[in-house]
Amino acid sequence: MPKYADIAIALPIDKLFQYQIPEELLSRLAIGSRVFVSFGSKKVVGYVVGFSETAGREGIKPIETVIDAEPILSSEMLSLTKWISDNYFCSWGEAIEAAIPGGIKKGKKSLGSRIKESHINVEDYSRTEPHVLMEEQAKALRMIADCIDKKEHRTFLLHGITASGKTEVYLQAIDYVLKKGGQAIMLVPEIALTPQTIERFVSRFGNRVAVIHSHLTPAKRFLEWKKIKDGRADIVVGARSAIFSPVKNLGLIIVDEEHETTYKQEDVPRYHARDVAEERARLNSCPLVLGSATPSLESYYKAKEGRYKLIKLTKRIEERLLPKVKIVDMRMELATRKKITIFSKVLLDAIDNALKNKKQAIIFLNRRGFSTFVNCRKCGLVLKCKRCDAVMVYHFEEKKLICHYCNSTQNPPDICPKCRSGYIRYFGLGTERVESELSHAFSHIHIARMDSDTTVKKGSHDRILGEFKSGDASMLVGTQMIAKGLDFPEVTLVGVVSADVTLNLPDFRASERTFNLLTQVAGRAGRGEDGGEVIVQTYAPHHYAILAAAKHDYDRFYEEEIASRKELLLPPFVSLIKVVVRARNEEFTQKTAAALANAIRAEDKDVMIGGPAAAPISRVRGHYRYNIMLKGDDKKRMCDLLKRVLAKFHKPHSVFIAVDVDPISM
Ligand code: ADP
Ligand code: ZN
Ligand code: ZN
């Protein structure tokens, strides 16, 4: 009879807490149970992760209550969350709370709550039958099925160009697992969870599908979770957190668009869903399929090293050609037309042409707002946010300046706040301005715009895409929200207003992001019978990311990029751990960061440390930020080192320290 329970609590303290088990609770308590315990002066939720016969110290408090009739966490979930806490610098309790739905974290909702209907109505979808696979698809399916049969873990990287039929391979692989009595999890990036995607799964598998995304209310989310937990769903389609779905007999995990940065969680625990998926597949001895037209450098490198099995889909379905990509050198445009223009003549003519042929166009710019900076021509002042080191962006519709980092707003000034002159000018552009200019140039047509400003209201996402699908709108202007997954056969033209927006980001992944985005948006053109054309405007027409994207040549991009990563000793050749030190006082922040960097150096002379250096956006919401970057090939060793240092480090109360393992942004 165990007398004590080891309990994980969701606090940023990297240890377990012992509580005594009252006799009357013993029969209801198991590993994985949720309990209430008193912690300090508070009552908190804890998770039982182990039992012990002896007490580690005196005066151990008893467990107060057991919350659920049956354990909420399976042994698999416990292993998985333990792995997260070991690898992503968080406590076991914090990892556990990332793995269960919000509603039940506070201990409120009991698992026995009433079952209501799912948010998906199967009657809304007509059934579809599987396609007869093309040769490459069939080969891919055979390899995955073979792995399912053997019940072994293996990671496949499915590298298939846009519209090569990857999703059809996923669907049939899932079908295969289901027929063998297993279940599947399919992760997609949040923005790809469109009605189109959901439709493809529900119309194939009916009510056996559970869908989990962040727009669901906590209650609906809980219902989907419950549907999975009770075994009423065999397929989970969802964004990042769906990797924690409580499926019992997991036979396959798929991560579509595996290169997407949204798989990385930005708050504690800062896990990467792709890596969690790999660990979960390993725990279940089942295959993991990573799919992408533009695999992350990390994954492709592993495939080349033989750690992942590479499968290629090189042909588009029905042999449809990839669209022709034309690069427009905006420097020449400036030289010949003697003015700075948003649209080159080439792009304007192409739009005109598409419209004349009654076709549709997608115009892409990865920046929202109207003008991206406001400055005084007399004294040169650039209007910045009062709380962030970031320029204020003018939003025409709201007639406001908005900070994209903290959302604070200001009224646009008529006179310069510094020199009192009236020479205030607006420069730079965002999607709002692009839409406005286009509606002047093509006044007879309706233009839809999709970015995070136009999709705040519930349902607006579907409404905007609906307008475009029905043909009411002939043009769709948008940010990266429109880069993926959309399948509109009438689109013959895609225009990229400026490829330089992502290329100039202060991040070593800027080229990779640019290549990915250009490839994805280009994939929106020519999905129908009429073929397609892509026009990319840039001031850097000879950059390898742009040239390779224009040729649809992933391998060419990879070779250039991997060589530069190797030379600069960046991922995938090393692992990075970013430590962010922030506080309201700049000097204080800087000094603490310097002291911390010294403490790390003193602890281990061999570890490579960059910084401390001011973060690219050096102040956000009134907090100054300094980064320390640890570099090395032994991630575990770096984590352990940091844990030792931080345990000893005397940090002033007003300073915050965050640790991000494998950071996705600088
Ligand atoms: P991807 O996921 O690589 O972009 P999809 O799986 O969406 O590609 O396939 C593109 C289009 O081709 C879809 O409309 C899909 O239904 C269709 N398709 C896929 N595989 C086949 C096939 N074997 N035969 C006919 N059509 C197919
Ligand atoms: Zn001025
Ligand atoms: Zn701000």
Alpha carbon 272 to chain centroid, angstroms: 9
Task: Give the integer Cα–Cα distance in Å for 232 and 280.
Answer: 21
For 633-658, b/e burial (b = at least 16 CB within 10 A) is eebeebbebbeebbeeeeeeeebebe
Which pLDDT score, from 0 to 100, does residue 106 have? 66
Q: Is the CB of 164 under 6 A from ligand 1?
A: yes
Q: Whose CA is nearest to atom 23 of ligand 1?
A: 133
Show the domains of the chain with their CATH numbers.
4-104 (3.40.1440.60), 122-318 (3.40.50.300), 320-371+429-564 (3.40.50.300), 372-427 (no CATH), 575-661 (3.30.70.600)
Burial of 309 (0-12, 13-18, 19+ CB in 10 A): middle
pTM listed for this prediction: 0.91
Q: Is the CB of 131 under 6 A from ligand 1?
A: yes
Question: Which ranges of the chain have pLDDT less than 70?
Answer: 103, 105-120, 339-340, 485
Beta-carbon neighbour count of residue 215 at 10 Å? 12
Rounded distance from Cα 426 to ligand 2 centre (Å): 13
Which pLDDT score, from 0 to 100, does residue 23 have? 92
Q: Whose CA is nearest to atom 25 of ligand 1?
A: 131
Rounded distance from Cα 454 to ligand 2 centre (Å): 32
DSSP category for residue 151: T
Task: Give the integer Cα–Cα distance in Å for 122 and 126.
Answer: 8
CB 618, CB 582: distance < 8 Å: no
Q: Is the CB of 519 under 6 A from ligand 1?
A: no
Query: Coil, strand or helix: which one is 210?
Result: strand
Strand stretches in 246-399, DSSP E: 250-256, 287-292, 309-313, 324-329, 360-364, 373-376, 393-395
Structure tokens at 483: 């880069």
Q: Is the CB of 663 under 6 A from ligand 1?
A: no
Task: Give the integer Cα–Cα distance in Å for 503 and 518.
Answer: 11
Which tens digits make up the pLDDT trace of 295-346?
999 999 999 999 999 999 998 887 777 889 999 999 888 788 776 678 999 9
Rounded distance from Cα 523 to ligand 1 centre (Å): 13
Which pLDDT score, from 0 to 100, does residue 197 have? 83
Rounded distance from Cα 382 to ligand 2 centre (Å): 9
State which ligand 1 atom lies nearest to the alpha carbon of 164.
3
Strand stretches in 423-539, DSSP E: 424-427, 447-450, 475-478, 491-496, 533-538
Which pLDDT score, from 0 to 100, does residue 319 have? 74
